[in-house]
Amino acid sequence: FNELETFNIISIFFSLRFLLRLTRYIVLLVVTKVLKALGIFESYDILKVVHIVQFIFILKLGSAVILLFFQKPFSSGKAISKRQWIKLLKHAVFSCIISLLGFFGLTLCGPLRVSYITVVEVSNMLFCCFVCDSAQTRGAALFIIAVICLLLFDNDDLMAKMAEHPEGHHDSALTHFLYTAIAFLGVADHKGGVVLLVASLCLKVGFHTASRKLSVEIGGAKRLYALDNLVSAVVLLPWVIVLSATTESKVESWSSLILPFGMIILSVMILEFYVEAICNTKMETPRCARYGAVALFLSALLLANFWTHPLTDQLRSMSKPAQQLSTEHVLSGGVIVSAVFFIMASSILSSPSKKGQKGTLVGYSPEGTPLYNFMGDALQHTSQSLPRFIKDSLKQILEEYDSRQIFYFLCLNLAFTFVELFYGVWTNSLGLISDGFHMLFDCSALVLGLFAALMTRWKATRIFSYGYGRVEILSGFINGLFLMVIAFFVFVESVTRVLDPPNINTDMLTPVSVGGLLVNLVGICAFSHAHAHAHGGKGCSSNDHGHSHHGHSHSEHSHGGHGHSHGMNANMRGVFLHVLADTLGSVGVIISTILIRQFGWLIADPLCSLFIATLIFLSVIPLLKDACEVLLLRIPQENEKDLNSALEKIEKIEGVLSYRDPHFWRHSANMIAGTIHLQIMSDVVEQRIIQQVTAILKDAGVNNLSVQVEKEAYFQHMSGLSTGFQEVLAMTQQMESMKYLKDGTCIM
């Protein structure tokens, strides 16, 4: 052997040993998971006879006794202070609630589905450190899809039979309450169980993160677990006593239940906890989670197949009434599909997140290793808290007239919408609910307008070098497109209805449309004010262009009467048109309702909507046209004449030969930008020309101007610079040499 081969062999040997050591833990993990699946199935059987609170009490008590024996939380470690006891109490109450939810879900939807969801629970730790990796989001999406699959496609026929006697054998107040809650949600029984399980899973994730701090405080997770079990048993004790005193038990003999209870306590509560703790320290967590998930899933699938089989009868320690066999929860196609999704989700979620990919390559270190820049982390640290952000933006919204107006109207609109929606749900009226959704949809245009009005006042940045004023115009354009789309859909819909007028139930329509009309009329009153100004300002915008820098202070008293600097506020126009369209819709509904009631003209409704669609369309066109012109950098229409005369004036300035490339465009409502190149005689001072031209163009309304003044020398320089090095050198050599000499002698 040479050295390399020896080294290879040694390294292989070491990795083999490492693997062998790992296999021990993996086998341990798998065995535990199989036992846990068994325990879950067993507890499902027991739960059919034992009341759920009693069951949890026994579970907690049993595990507490065993853990007290092993862990000795009182004799070892620090003493626990009073405050810690209170925290422990809260912790225990929460854990009781979670296990109550979980086991109640178990009674509802059977052991197989429970073990699926617990598959994901294994990797729930990774949920907490949820990062915005694309793989992670995919995992979360898969998890959600799997839950939806369980909810929608799992046609467990036997469930329906269970659902027929939902409160047959439950008589406690708690179960009754839960049943009514599920019935209120309107889902089938076992689906309610799934919902409960998912809820308990989500709670558990939060609970784990919260308990981490407490476990450090108490002194170790194990000690916390032991104490927690004890305390929750104590918490449940009064309830159990009351329960057993008030209701008669269905259990024939408690002695026959001792063995299964012991088994469940051992497998579900204690063994799993210890093995998980060991494996997490010996192997990396994701790997551990993955093996555990696969083991649990497979064993649950096997057990579900064989649980009702006679072979396993001796495994099952309980004899059961024959009729209950029919209500067993069995496998179905939906379960299998969702199981596949669950497995994928857990494997993606438990795979190590590749955080290195988030960074951008900055360069290489002197040693040659790549250096990354983690922008995301830096950004996360600087982001402010949500309440503060909301508070700040609210303050900003209320500062200015436009955004305040939109905000108040948005609030009004939303309030109306929610009242409508709630009333619709209350009275179970389809029309009301759908109208509410339409209103909500319309609110999105308002939100867009509000956001644009807010953004307009942001400070100019490196990227938005002129400031954010143009956002308003873009938002107006988008709102215009939005209205076009709405008009188009209404048009198509009404054309199909003209051909085949449907029967309309007009009972609920009138009050709703009158309410909508009132709300929208308020909006029109609020916005027409700004709207009229937007048009009124056009004429005199050339007089007060100087205020562009004091836009804030100026618009505060913009409603004072004199023309303000808003030449064209496309945003407000868009919002106004939206409100106008809504109003027209309400008016149309009222008119068509009257026509249908009075004369029975069913065709009135589509005709009305046809008319409204055309009206919306026609009223949007000017807005779109104006916004397009601004976006295409046309010379502002209202300043066109002024600019032309200004250009004539510029040509007449003494010393100006000509001008070229005059570009003038409206950047935002109160900014007209421009650039121009001037050719002047070589004996004129440039700065004076710039001053004059700036003054002339300022009078014409241009308030962001760049003037490039060129003399003949400039073109000479440019031609010199743009030609190659050699030519320049040759051209200037003789001339230069003389001057150099002179310069050099003079200065040295």
**Residue 262 binds other proteins, judged by CB under 8 A:** no
Nearer to other proteins, 256 or 357 (CB): 357
Beta carbon of residue 670, minimum distance to other proteins (angstroms, whole number) = 15
Query: Is residue 540 close enough to count as binding other proteins by CB under 8 A?
Result: no
Any contact of residue 662 with other proteins (CB under 8 A)? Answer: yes
Min CB(57)–other proteins separation in Å: 39
Which structure tokens are listed for 644? 């032309």
The smaller minimum CB distance to other proteins, of residues 220 and 501, is found at 501
**If binding is defined by CB under 8 A, does position 8 make contact with other proteins?**
no
Q: Does residue 10 belong to the site contacting other proteins (CB under 8 A)?
A: no
CB nearer other proteins, residue 244 or residue 637 = 637
Closest contact distance (angstroms) between CB of 317 and other proteins is: 38
Least distance CB 325 / other proteins (angstroms): 27
Q: Does residue 710 belong to the site contacting other proteins (CB under 8 A)?
A: yes
**Closer to other proteins at the Cβ: 364 or 441?**
441
* Collapsed DSSP state (helix, strand, coil) of residue 660: strand
Q: Could you say whether residue 531 binds other proteins (CB under 8 A)?
A: yes
Q: Which stretch binds other proteins (CB under 8 A): 86-94, 398-406, 507-515, 572-580?
A: 572-580
> Which of residues 302, 371, 706, 730 is near other proteins by CB under 8 A?
706
- Please provide the DSSP assignment of 502-559 as one string: PP---TTHHHHHHHHHHHHHHHHHHHHHHHHHHHHHHHHTTTSGGGGGGHHHHHHTGG
Establish if 572 lies at the interface with other proteins (CB under 8 A).
no
- Residue 171 DSSP one-character state: -
730 binds other proteins (CB under 8 A): no
Q: Is 729 in the site for other proteins (CB under 8 A)?
A: yes
CB nearer to other proteins: give 231 or 705.
705
DSSP string, 698-718: HHTT--EEEEEEE-HHHHHHH
Residue 380 or 444 with smaller CB distance to other proteins: 444
Of 207 and 451, nearer to other proteins (C-beta) is 451
Does residue number 463 form part of the binding site for other proteins (CB under 8 A)?
yes
Identify the residue among 421, 474, 514, 603 touching other proteins (CB under 8 A).
Answer: 474
Q: Which is nearer to other proteins, 280 or 619 (CB)?
A: 619
Residue 535 sits in the site that holds other proteins (CB under 8 A)? yes
Distances 155 to 151, 186, 301, 408, 443 between C-alpha atoms, Å: 9, 16, 18, 48, 38
Based on the shown chain and the rule CB under 8 A, indicate whether residue 135 belongs to the binding site for other proteins: yes
Q: Which of 265, 512, 570, 709 binds other proteins (CB under 8 A)?
A: 709
Nearer to other proteins, 65 or 484 (CB): 484
Residues 685-704 that bind other proteins (CB under 8 A): 685-688, 690
Spatial CA neighbour of 235 closest among 457, 64, 481: 64
Which residues contact residue 498 at a Cβ distance below 8 angstroms, ignoring those fewer than 6 apart?
603, 606, 607, 610
744 lies in the site for other proteins, by CB under 8 A: yes
How many other C-beta atoms can be found within 10 angstroms of the C-beta atom of residue 93?
A: 14
Complex with other proteins: residue 246 or 687, whichever CB lies closer: 687
- Distance between CA atoms of residues 631 and 473, nearest Å: 8
746 binds other proteins per the rule CB under 8 A = yes
Alpha-carbon distance of 593 to 273, in angstroms, equals 68
> Could you say whether residue 41 binds other proteins (CB under 8 A)?
no
Among the listed residues 666, 701, 570, 582, the one whose alpha carbon sits nearest the alpha carbon of residue 625? 570
Cβ atoms within 10 Å of 312's Cβ, excluding its own: 14
Residue 420 identity (one-letter amino acid): E
Tokens in use for 356? 């290195």
Ramachandran angles phi, psi of 631, nearest 5°: -70, -30
Tell me the HSE value of 745 on the side-chain side, using a 13 A CA sphere. Answer: 5
Least spacing, CB of residue 465 vs other proteins, in Å:
4
Residues 214 to 253: which contact other proteins by CB under 8 A? Answer: none
The partner residues of 660 in beta bridges, in order of sequence, read: 677
How far apart are alpha carbons 67 and 78 in whole angstroms?
18
Binding residue for other proteins, selected from 79, 379, 386, 713, defined by CB under 8 A: 713
**Single residue of 16, 216, 525, 633 touching other proteins by CB under 8 A:** 633
Interaction between residue 132 and other proteins (CB under 8 A): no
Token output for 432? 């009301």
- Could you give phi then psi for residue 329, rounded to 5 degrees? -85, 120
Q: Which is nearer to other proteins, 88 or 624 (CB)?
A: 624
State yes or no: residue 508 binds other proteins (CB under 8 A): no
Selected binder of other proteins within 399, 466, 549, 594 (CB under 8 A): 466
Q: What's the Cα-to-Cα distance from 39 to each of 33, 46, 272, rounded to whole Å?
A: 10, 10, 11
- Given 340, 631, 653, 657, the residue binding other proteins (CB under 8 A): 631
User: Which ranges of 78-133 would DSSP assign to H, the alpha helix?
Assistant: 82-122, 124-128
E strand intervals along 24-67: none
Among the candidate windows 32-40, 42-50, 322-330, 711-719, which touches other proteins by CB under 8 A? 711-719
Among left, alpha and beta (phi > 0; psi -120 to 50; other), residue 558 is: alpha
Name which of residues 310 to 349 contact other proteins (CB under 8 A): 333
How far is Cα 182 from Cα 189, in angstroms, rounded to an integer? Answer: 7
Which residue, 2 or 733, has its beta carbon nearer to other proteins?
733
Q: How far is the CB of 28 from other proteins (least distance, A)?
A: 30
| Distance of closest approach, residue 720 Cβ to other proteins, in angstroms | 5
What x-and-dash track marks residues 546-565 binding other proteins by CB under 8 A?
--------------------
Long-range contacts of 560-563 (CB under 8 A, 24+ apart): 563/533, 563/536, 563/537, 563/539
* Interface with other proteins, residue 665, by CB under 8 A: yes
| Pairing status of strand 360-364 against strand 704-710 | unpaired
Q: Using an 8 Å Cβ cutoff, are 468 and 458 in contact? A: yes
- Which residue reads 């700040």 in tokens? 392
- Residue 387's identity, in one-letter code, is P
In angstroms, give the least distance from the CB of 177 to other proteins. Answer: 24
Q: CA-CA-CA-CA torsion for 122, 268, 243, 237, nearest 10 degrees?
A: -90
Q: Are 653 and 552 in contact (CB under 8 A)?
A: no
* Span 478-497, contacts to other proteins by CB under 8 A: 478, 481-482, 484-485, 489
CB of 551 closer than 8 Å to CB of 458: no
Binding mask 636-655 for other proteins (x = CB under 8 A): ----x---------------
Residue 740 within binding range of other proteins, rule CB under 8 A: yes
From residue 419 to residue 438, the character string flagging contacts with other proteins as x (rule: CB under 8 A) and all else as - is: -----------x--xx--xx
Q: What is the DSSP letter of 671?
A: E
DSSP 589-637: HHHHHHHHHHH--TTHHHHHHHHHHHHHHHHHHHHHHHHHHHHTTPPPG
**Among 239, 372, 464, 491, contact with other proteins (rule: CB under 8 A):** 464
Identify the residue among 594, 622, 645, 658 touching other proteins (CB under 8 A). Answer: 622
How far is Cα 509 from Cα 605, in angstroms, rounded to an integer?
A: 12
Under the criterion CB under 8 A, does residue 277 sit at the interface with other proteins? no
**Which residues make beta-bridge pairs with 674?**
664, 705
Q: Which stretch binds other proteins (CB under 8 A): 52-60, 202-210, 397-405, 633-641?
A: 633-641
Least Cβ distance, residue 463 to other proteins (angstroms): 5
Examine residue 716 and tell whether it contacts other proteins (CB under 8 A): yes
Question: Shortest Cβ distance from residue 462 to other proteins (Å)?
Answer: 7
Which residue, 47 or 452, has its beta carbon nearer to other proteins? 452
Return the amino acid letter for 470. R
